[in-house]
Structure 1
Amino acid sequence: MRPALPTVLVIDDELRSVEALQRILEEEFDVRTAVTVREAEAVLENEVVEVVLCDQRMPEMTGVEFLKTVRDRWPDTVRMVISGYTDATDIISGINEAGIYQYVTKPWQPDALILTLQNAARLYRLQRENDLLAVELKMSANRAERVVAGRRLELKTQYSADDGIVRTPDSPMSLVCDRLRRIAPYDVSVLVSGESGTGKELVARALHYNSLRWNKPFVVENCAAMPDQLLESELFGHKRGAFTGAVEDHVGLFERANGGTVFLDEIGDITPAFQAKLLRVLQEGEIRPVGRGQSRKVDVRVIAATNRDLEHEVREGRFRDDLYYRLATVTIHVPPLRERPMDVPVIARMLLEKAQKQLGKTVKGLTDEALACIEAYHWPGNVRELQNEIQHLLVMGEDNGLLGADLLSRRILRAAPEEEAADVEMLVGLDGPLKDRIEQLEARILRETLIRHKWNKSRAAKELGLSRVGLRAKLERYGLEKIEAIDPQVRKPSPPRKNAVL
């Protein structure tokens, strides 16, 4: 179906001019005509007219005078004047008094006139859409406030009933979570320490949503490897023109989070110069945007995190002791994943569920063999590394199938680096028979090769340069057996205490 044509009203006291314009425009527009002001007003009162094209010289009144009336009574209609006279006074008067969109001079070119009218009709539609959106925004303001309040309450409820950290009942993280719940209600600075990828930001969010500031903003800034000027601008804001590239005023995170919580990740990486500026903000409770002379009061709770030993940094003179004591009113240490191997399977399953939603791919789960390999690895990159490996498994696996150990990265199928180091030490150490040490290494090589080949003994034997009989003898000798892959819906371990996302 062809869309409705824009309605154009042509006004001219000369009938032949009106007819000429109508012939030119009728293919692109729904044309209405009038030879008197009275006829034109009647059309405007009874129809929605998008554009008025009015002759300047008419016996009753000038085109500009008539369009002033149109502007008062039908302000949305786009107004245009067409005239054979180019009096500068008329043009200025039309623009200032009647809000003329375009002043078209005679003789006019058909193509140029059609293009001008099409642009005018487009302007009319955009103005109407803008008005409708403005009304919608006014109507939806309260709705948006209710949505935001509802989401904050949902987060508050979640973190009140569940601190958001996935773990098993006997996990070392349980002690961390108990400490977290005791600290959260008190408005004090907290320093969260731990290796990269252990979930320090999750701890900070749990502290915020269990505090009295839960219904105020929670903002995050990673301080690692940021120049002082950029970090100062991000945290405290800047005035336009304060430095090269500052093309407009910028509100800093401390001001945006006023009343809420600021989480400063990798705080140990900031320079001594910026340490002094941050200390002043914490002491005085006020910020000074870059390029402004006046300070602004802010009320925020600061939670900082680091993967460094800040006490050692203080002793070495690389971190200010007064800033450290400001930040570390209370400290929380998050243990690495290798110190809580019992949590690895439940975290892996949770990350798999999350990855399936993100990537739009469905699988049945992980095989027991895959879980055993995952649990045996020591995860130097902690949860972040585990998350990447789970996504790798999901991408490489078959839709609606089980993810087996053969899909795992080779570094995980092999012994963990710490275990490898222990094996090397065992092999070259002074104690123990050489034969026993070599046999343990041989067993590990056999197992990794078989897993990669999905326990196909013929392929594994070919890769290792063994006969099938020789390989079978070694498997019997070392007691190597395949962990059968079963549906995780059949075998379910004890559920984790928590089920939110790390």
Structure 2
Amino acid sequence: MTARPVILCVDDEVRSLQTLERTLDEEFDVLCASSAEEALTLLESNVVQAILCDQRMPGKTGVELLTEVRERWPEPARLILSGYTDSDDIIRGLNDAGILQYITKPWHPDNLLMILRNACQMYQLQSENDQLNLEMKLSEVQASTRVKQKRARLQQSFQLDQIKRAESSPLNDICEQAAQIAPYDISVLVTGPSGAGKELFARALHYNSLRKDKPFVVENCGAMPDELLASELFGHKKGSFTGAISDHIGLFEQADGGTIFLDEIGEITPAFQVKLLRVLQEREVRRLGEHQRRRVDVRIVASTNRDLREEVKAGRFRQDLYYRLAEVTLELPTLAQRPMDVPLLAENFLAHAMRDFDKPVTGFSAEAMAAMQQYHWPGNVRELQNEVRRVLVLAKGEYLTADLLSPAIQQTETRTETQEIDLLDGLDGSLKERVEALEQRILKATLARHHWNKSRAAKELGLSRVGLRSKLERYGMERADPASESTQTNEHTE
């Protein structure tokens, strides 16, 4: 049963106390005190919801008693009962004792019951309010703790040393460069084919920077009309265009103090390039439909699968905007250029997929892994992730076998064996002459795969740059277009 409210009645007249007790005991638990001292003693050992006190008593008056009660037990509702209507008493009671109501004698039972019901309800509401305030404070602390924990997990998951790669991976140099530039407020352009992991590096740059506790926001700029893109990035005022039914804060303002990642930046129109350049130059945004400019402090990381230098030469991308975005450029390789990373990536994707689908397996068969390493992965890391998830769903046994792989990947092993046989065709002469001819073919194929970047080709072949150059001179394999080679070599100098 729900406990009844407790009322403390204080009156030096015994008959008045008895009358109050008889009137109230049907709805309330009634405590009676004939003096201020007795009332204070009862309050020390009981929780009461309301105190009904006579004003004129020997020793302390009702107002004096309730003033002390207010200091020691502020929660109970305090009411004065008096046959006198002295205005000074009333004013003092309201100011000093925080009296809820001043009730004059003679009182009517129904009226008194209604007043005390309301007083107890007010006490209950105040208690609930205090409890809610306490819970809100606790929730705020808990929410703050959860945010800090989530931020810590994000920062840990996007550390550069968490990027899956082999010891000989071409990503090692890129991660080293990213770690060096991450702490500095410098714009970074991340280039590479679709699915190569450009957003992963953008997040790594943010979470390894001094802005890591501030927002990281993403906008894909591809195939978006200028007005909609401007609204998303800069914000708009209600009514500034059809469909603008409320004010909207743009991503530049949302990212204030943090990092904004502009994906597929090479797709924006020349007209929008001008708007974006102004924001980057002035570090101010103006919402659509407003004249007010707002200061923003953001770091820019952009990405593209286009060659923006060629776009600049062709007049499709502004040169001044390019240099604003590309203070530092990180060029990500294709997955075909890093086959040594395929096993690590595949195992990592498999671990995540097993958790997502609640489907444990032992792993990949040797044949399946070999086929995946030989495949050229036109969709890069994203295609590999999709393939792993697909194979896991189709698997019926303990291992993910080669026959589960997509037909294009299964055919790779057959093509590779044919290519190895073709590689030996046409080799005549002594063993030494055949080995030298084969070496020339390997050198030529490796350089072509790396666009004649000698540093990368030498690293793949396990040679020093000087050693590679010596072999090229020996076989007379210098590139036919030296100017082009020189330009490319300078661009990729490590």
- After TM superposition, the score normalised by the length of structure 2 is 0.58
Please state whether the residue corresponding to 2:382 is helix, strand or coil. Answer: helix
Report what 2:401 is aligned to.
405
Aligned partners of 2:237 and 2:247 also within 8 Å: yes
Aligned partners of 2:179 and 2:205 also within 8 Å: yes
Residue 414 of structure 1: which of 389, 393, 407 is its match? 407
Report what 1:244 is aligned to.
245
Change (3 A) 1:251 1:325: closer
Please state whether the residue corresponding to 2:110 is helix, strand or coil. Answer: coil
Output the CA distance in 1 between the equivalents of 2:118 and 2:378. Answer: 66
Aligned partners of 1:208 and 1:218 also within 8 Å: no
Change (3 A) 1:232 1:120: farther
Q: What percent of counterpart residues are identical? A: 40
Output the CA distance in 2 between the equivalents of 1:330 and 1:107. Answer: 83
Change (3 A) 1:134 1:78: farther
Residue 346 of structure 1: how far off its partner (Å):
1.5
CA offset digits 1:78-129 (Å, max 9, x no partner): 537699xxx9x99xx979983859x9x9737999987984674364154146
Alignment of 1:281-292 (within 5 A): 281-288=279-286, 291=290
Residue 130 of structure 1: which of 121, 133, 140 is its match? 133
Highest RCO, 1 vs 2 (Cα 8 Å, sep ≥ 6):
1
Residue 53 of structure 1: which of 36, 50, 53 is its match? 50
Please state whether the residue corresponding to 2:164 is helix, strand or coil. Answer: coil
Output the CA distance in 1 between the equivalents of 2:203 and 2:55. Answer: 72
CA offset digits 1:27-64 (Å, max 9, x no partner): xxxx75557665444333444x3x63345886559999
Output the CA distance in 1 between the equivalents of 2:31 and 2:387. Answer: 69
Output the CA distance in 1 between the equivalents of 2:267 and 2:354. Answer: 35
Q: What amino acid is the match of 1:42?
A: T
Residue 202 of structure 1: how far off its partner (Å):
2.1
Change (3 A) 1:231 1:21: farther
Residue 222 of structure 1: which of 219, 222, 245 is its match? 219
Please state whether the residue corresponding to 1:43 is helix, strand or coil. Answer: helix
Report what 1:121 is aligned to.
124
Alignment of 1:16-415 (within 5 A): 16-25=19-28, 39-47=38-46, 49=47, 52-55=49-52, 70-75=69-74, 77=75, 79=77, 98=98, 107=110, 117=120, 120-121=123-124, 123-128=126-131, 130-131=133-134, 134=137, 158-159=159-160, 162=161, 164-177=162-175, 179-181=177-179, 183-184=181-182, 187-208=185-206, 213=210, 217=214, 219-224=216-221, 244-246=245-247, 253=252, 256-258=255-257, 260-270=258-268, 272=270, 274-288=272-286, 291=290, 293-296=292-295, 298=297, 300-311=298-309, 313-314=311-312, 319-356=317-354, 362-375=360-373, 378-394=376-392, 402-405=398-401, 408=404, 412-415=405-408
Output the CA distance in 1 between the equivalents of 2:111 and 2:411. Answer: 85
Aligned partners of 2:232 and 2:251 also within 8 Å: yes
Please state whether the residue corresponding to 2:302 is helix, strand or coil. Answer: strand
Change (3 A) 1:294 1:209: closer
Aligned partners of 2:49 and 2:120 also within 8 Å: no
Residue 70 of structure 1: how far off its partner (Å):
4.5
Residue 334 of structure 1: how far off its partner (Å):
1.8
CA RMSD of aligned residues (A): 5.5
Output the CA distance in 1 between the equivalents of 2:20 and 2:364. Answer: 81
Task: Please say which of residues 146-155 and 375-384 is displaced more in the overlay.
Answer: 146-155
Alignment of 1:486-497 (within 5 A): none
Output the CA distance in 2 between the equivalents of 1:139 and 1:57. Answer: 47
Count of equivalent residues? 391
Residue 170 of structure 1: how far off its partner (Å):
3.9
Q: What amino acid is the match of 1:245?
A: S
Aligned partners of 2:365 and 2:402 also within 8 Å: no
Output the CA distance in 2 between the equivalents of 1:394 and 1:113. Answer: 70
Output the CA distance in 2 between the equivalents of 1:262 and 1:168. Answer: 30
Residue 219 of structure 1: how far off its partner (Å):
1.4
Aligned partners of 2:7 and 2:28 also within 8 Å: no
Task: Please say which of residues 198-207 and 146-155 is displaced more in the overlay.
Answer: 146-155
Change (3 A) 1:140 1:207: closer
Change (3 A) 1:99 1:317: farther
Q: What amino acid is the match of 1:127?
A: D
Change (3 A) 1:349 1:152: closer
Aligned partners of 2:50 and 2:116 also within 8 Å: no
Q: What amino acid is the match of 2:400?
A: G
Change (3 A) 1:128 1:180: closer
Q: What amino acid is the match of 1:74?
A: W
* Unaligned segments of structure 1, at least 5 residues: 423-502
Alignment of 1:439-478 (within 5 A): none
Residue 214 of structure 1: how far off its partner (Å):
6.3
Output the CA distance in 1 between the equivalents of 2:31 and 2:250. Answer: 53
Aligned partners of 1:78 and 1:121 also within 8 Å: no
* Unaligned segments of structure 2, at least 5 residues: 12-16, 416-494
Residue 395 of structure 1: how far off its partner (Å):
5.5
Residue 304 of structure 1: how far off its partner (Å):
0.8
- After TM superposition, the score normalised by the length of structure 1 is 0.57
Residue 348 of structure 1: how far off its partner (Å):
0.8
